[in-house]
Amino acid sequence: MSSAARRDLGTWGRYSRWVNKHRKWVFAAPAMIFIALLLIFPLVWTLYLSFTNSKGSVRAPFDFIGFENYVKVLTDTERFWPAVGRTVYFTGGALLFEVILGIAIALMLWKPFRGEKLVRVAILLPLVATPVAIGMMWRLIFEPNIGFANEMLSWLGIPAQPWLSSPDTALSTLIFVDVWQWTPMVTLIILAGLTALPEEPDEAARVDGANWWQRLWYVTLPLLAPTIIAAVILRGIDALKTFDILYATKGKGGGSFHEVETLNTYAYGLSFDYNRYGQASTVLILFFLMIIGLIWILSLRKKALNK
């Protein structure tokens, strides 16, 4: 064997040993690079566009204008800040009811009972349909004239309600729709946390004479707190970026009076209705910072509970 061939074999051997030593990173690298590009490029491009006056067409020339878009958006009390308020209201209201109902349903499903599997399947049915289909279904149910909701109220002697057609009730009605669809997700997370809890603390409290409510409040819920925080983080992020149900039920602009317009629908309208890409990118970056801030706060809370 020639000296050149021996050198090539030695180089290949060192390379093979290095690959074998770091194989978990080598095999994962292509997927990690792809995901990084998939996330980083749109985020960087959106950030760049937020500092420009891009509008009209994606091919139209645009100029760098610094923080002008941010000043314009942050001083917009007609559309931006009301959209922020609706986003917070929708997310907070949906989370509150979904966590409370999710915990309650999970506690009912915690212990085995007859027909348990059938009940669990029935609870998960709202998660099967797509959000757009759910939105269209509830739009028909809440239709003021022929909808089943007002028909049912008439049986009880209650006057018909505007539901989705009134600016005063539209967003609250959509919170109800979101709670109906996504409470099962919270229930699954809480139920998984309940099944992983140790039995000894509850048995000790039972021996000490604690009743069911005392065991729940002082034993079960404190042990379950990290799981609840995880459910709030996962569902909170999803609720913040809700778009399908809002658009399917109220259309462009969140309705005629922008009654259900959140930051997502506002940014969508700026991009695809008015073609103001720079301003829309600014709204999305500010929205992204809000989500990061929420995750950071909840993560700190979860770490404090785990200590």
Place 306 in a pLDDT band, splitting at 50, 70 and 90. low
Token output for 207: 């021996």
Predicted local distance difference test score (pLDDT) of residue 20: 78
Measured distance CA(233)–CA(231) in Å, rounded: 5
Cβ(290)–Cβ(52) below 8 Å? no
In the chain, pLDDT over 70 holds for what percent of residues? 94
The CATH number given to 78-306 is 1.10.3720.10
**Axis crossing angle, helix 170-195 with helix 116-124, rounded to the nearest 10:** 140
Q: What does the buried/exposed string (b/e) look like for 202-235 if buried means 16 or more CB atoms within 10 Å of the residue's CB?
A: beebeeeebeeeebbeebbeebbbbbbbbbbbeb
- Amino acid sitting at position 170: A
- In the chain, domain spans: 3-49, 78-306
Predicted local distance difference test score (pLDDT) of residue 11: 67
**Is it the case that residue 16 has pLDDT exceeding 50?**
yes
Predicted local distance difference test score (pLDDT) of residue 111: 79
**Is it the case that residue 37 has pLDDT exceeding 90?**
no
Q: The pTM is what?
A: 0.86
In the chain, pLDDT over 90 holds for what percent of residues? 45
Structure confidence by residue, pLDDT tens digits, 247-273: 999 988 888 889 999 999 999 999 988
Which residue intervals of 125-220 are DSSP H helices? 131-141, 148-155, 170-195, 200-207, 212-215
Q: What is the CA radius of gyration of the chain?
A: 26
Structure confidence by residue, pLDDT tens digits, 137-174: 999 999 888 889 999 988 988 888 899 988 899 999 99
Token output for 12: 């290949």
